[in-house]
Amino acid sequence: MKVIIIGAGFAGLDLARKLNNKEGINVLLIDKLTYHQFQPLLYQVATSALEPSSISFPVRKVFQKSRNIRIRISEVKAILPEKNEVKTDTGTYPYDVLVVATGATTNYFGNDKIASKALPMKSTLEAVKLKNRLINNFEDALDVKDPDERRKYLSVVIAGAGPTGVELAGAISEMRKNMLPKDYPEIDFRLMDIYLLDGLERPLFNMSAESGADAVKYLDQLGIIQKMKAIVKDYDGNNVLLDDGNIIPTKTLIWAAGVKGNVPAGIEPGLVIKGRIKVDRFNKVQGMRNIYAIGDIAAMETPLYAKGHPQLASVAKSQGKHLAENLLRLNRGEPAKEYEFNNRGTMATIARGKGVVDLEKPKMHLNGVLAWISWMVLHASLMYGGKNRIIVFINWLYKLFSFDQTLRLAERHYNLVSDAALEEIKNKDCPQPEAKAEAEAKTKAGI
């Protein structure tokens, strides 16, 4: 059985690991990145608590001793169901079974202007870019004398009060309290406002009412301004316009307000609902004979989840493992089994010693230090690589006792010349090609 897996996220990687060295199955794992990124900790990269490498793990290293799994670092251009082929930028590959595990990307709900100005956080590179923006804004604020204008550089608006937004708001608040006043003694950080916006009634709306109430309390204690039932209508890079007409001045809008599936070309639009591919109880794409979808990209209706499963790492990992077992059954000529998610609970951390946990069996709610420690232990255990776990724990312990983050590295940004000016330099009659190339490079660097 030739199996192609598109995507090395939680779902795709767990599927491939379960099929590793199994007789009668050959696997080709395709991803555009050379590494698996642990997305639940991206916010800690963005706030200087962790290095990007500590939450990333080389995909090839996972399968160094594999006899049946091969890897291609490629970008998928299209699925060709009629030919049982996947077209990529490095070639076209045939399959007997195709598994789409392409995950989700940021959803701007059709607002292109917000998409061009706001900062998403769905990848390691985006988290690094956000860290650069934050640090550069603090540096720029040193030269701004007007308090209102300085407030614009310091303040941060986060759209979306789910776990990502709440955790990010808490981490930035801790930076404001413990780190930034020491780094920038010239700045009065009472000018720095942190806003958390959401169109729903409370933070952590996907969790229990108790967790929501705890989140509101913890966010208040951290001095975070919460605006619920507030929708971002527009953003021009300087001001956030809300649907009620209010304006929040800021140079930083972080978008954590929603996700949509990375649906590859070749999947018919009729098979996509709200950015996710419709699948049956076996994760098979509806109407397809040999194409499956798992993880965030899959929309499966079950008696327990009539609107589809939540887009969580735990769901993605369990679907990957379940589909692997079904493929092994099918390869042996045995019937496949239906999938249902065994929800053990959900959790979120807001800041040091402040967390919430909703357990399903037994039905229980935890908060405070115990929930915070539970969150840390679980997330460290889910990471790939013993070295990564050790590094993450060391960084957490250092932050626990020092109240500091040591990884605030960033490149200074410069105002680049316009495209028209760059084109003019390109067309200048430089006597040597090397001189022309050097002039172009200096222009791009803002020198």
pLDDT of 36-91, one tens digit each?
A: 999 999 999 999 888 888 888 999 999 999 999 999 999 999 999 999 999 999 99
- Mean confidence (pLDDT) of the chain: 89
Q: Give the pLDDT confidence score for residue 49 in this predicted structure.
A: 85
Q: Which of 367-371, 381-385, 412-416 has the lowest mean pLDDT?
A: 412-416
- Name 335's Cβ contacts closer than 8 Å, sequence gap at least 6: 329
- Token digits for 290? 């040999």
Q: State the pLDDT at residue 431.
A: 42
429 versus 269: the higher-pLDDT residue is 269
Q: At 142, which amino acid appears?
A: L
Q: Does 316 score more than 80 pLDDT?
A: yes
In this structure, what token pair is assigned to residue 179?
Answer: 């780190």
Helix (H), strand (E) counts: the chain: 14, 25
Query: Within a 10 A sphere around the Cβ of 286, how many other Cβ atoms?
Result: 14
Stronger pLDDT, 386 or 317, i.e. the higher one? 317
* pLDDT at res. 86: 98
Residue type present at position 382: L
Domains and CATH numbers, the chain: 2-32+74-106+260-331 (3.50.50.60), 112-257+345-402 (3.50.50.100), 414-447 (no CATH)
- Residue 119 region by backbone torsions, left for phi larger than 0, else alpha for psi between -120 and 50, else beta: beta
pLDDT, mean of residues 210-226: 97
Task: Tokens for 347, please give them.
Answer: 């959790």
User: Residue 425 pLDDT more than 80?
Assistant: no
Task: Identify whether the C-beta of residue 2 lies closer than 8 Å to the C-beta of residue 308.
Answer: no
What's the pLDDT at 383? 81
> Over the range 69-96, which residues count as b (16 or more CB within 10 Å of their CB) and which as e?
bebbbbebeebbbeebbbbbeeeebebe
Q: Is the pLDDT of residue 447 over 70?
A: no
Which of 20-24, 123-127, 333-337, 423-427 shows the lowest mean pLDDT across its residues?
423-427
Confidence of residue 414 (pLDDT cuts 50, 70, 90): low
Q: Give 403's pLDDT tier (boundaries 50, 70, 90).
A: low
Of 424 and 232, the one with more pLDDT: 232
- What is the reported pLDDT for 282? 97
Taking 70 as the threshold, does the pLDDT of residue 428 lie above it? no
pLDDT at 20: 98
pLDDT score of 379 more than 50? yes
Instruction: Give residue 194's pLDDT.
Output: 98
Q: Which region, left, alpha or beta, applies to residue 278 given φ > 0 means left and ψ of -120 to 50 means alpha?
A: beta
13, two tokens: 């990687």
- Band (pLDDT 50/70/90 cuts) for residue 389 is confident
Q: State the pLDDT at residue 398.
A: 72
With a cut of 70, say whether residue 430 has pLDDT above it.
no
Range of weakest confidence among 158-162, 190-194, 321-325, 419-423: 419-423
Q: Tokens in use for 382?
A: 């889910």
Give the pLDDT of residue 315.
95
| 3-class DSSP assignment, residue 294 | coil
pLDDT exceeds 70 at position 407: no
Residue 159 confidence class, pLDDT cut points 50, 70, 90: very high
